[in-house]
């Protein structure tokens, strides 16, 4: 059960990284969206550290 949760978190983290990269590659990136995605990614990273 625990490794499934960690795997799900890792997949979410990778997905957020991809979304951030996509947004940053746009001609005029939405900085507020990037900040929101980065905060979500950080929370997932913190949760992964506790597992």
* Token pair in block for residue 35: 């900040």
Give me the pLDDT at residue 15, please: 98
Closest CA to 13 of 29, 48, 51: 48
Do the beta carbons of residue 13 and residue 41 sit within 8 Å?
A: yes
d(CA 34, CA 36) in angstroms, rounded, equals: 5
What total of structural domains would you count in the chain?
A: 1
Do the beta carbons of residue 33 and residue 23 sit within 8 Å?
A: yes
For residue 18, what pLDDT band results from cuts at 50, 70 and 90?
A: very high
Print the domain residue range for 8: 2-49
Q: What is the pTM of this model?
A: 0.85
């Amino acid at each position: 059960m625990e490794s499934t949760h960690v795997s799900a978190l890792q997949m979410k983290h990778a997905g957020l990284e991809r979304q951030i990269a996509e947004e940053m590659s746009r001609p005029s990136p939405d900085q507020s969206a990037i900040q929101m995605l980065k905060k979500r990614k950080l929370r997932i990273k913190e949760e992964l550290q506790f597992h």
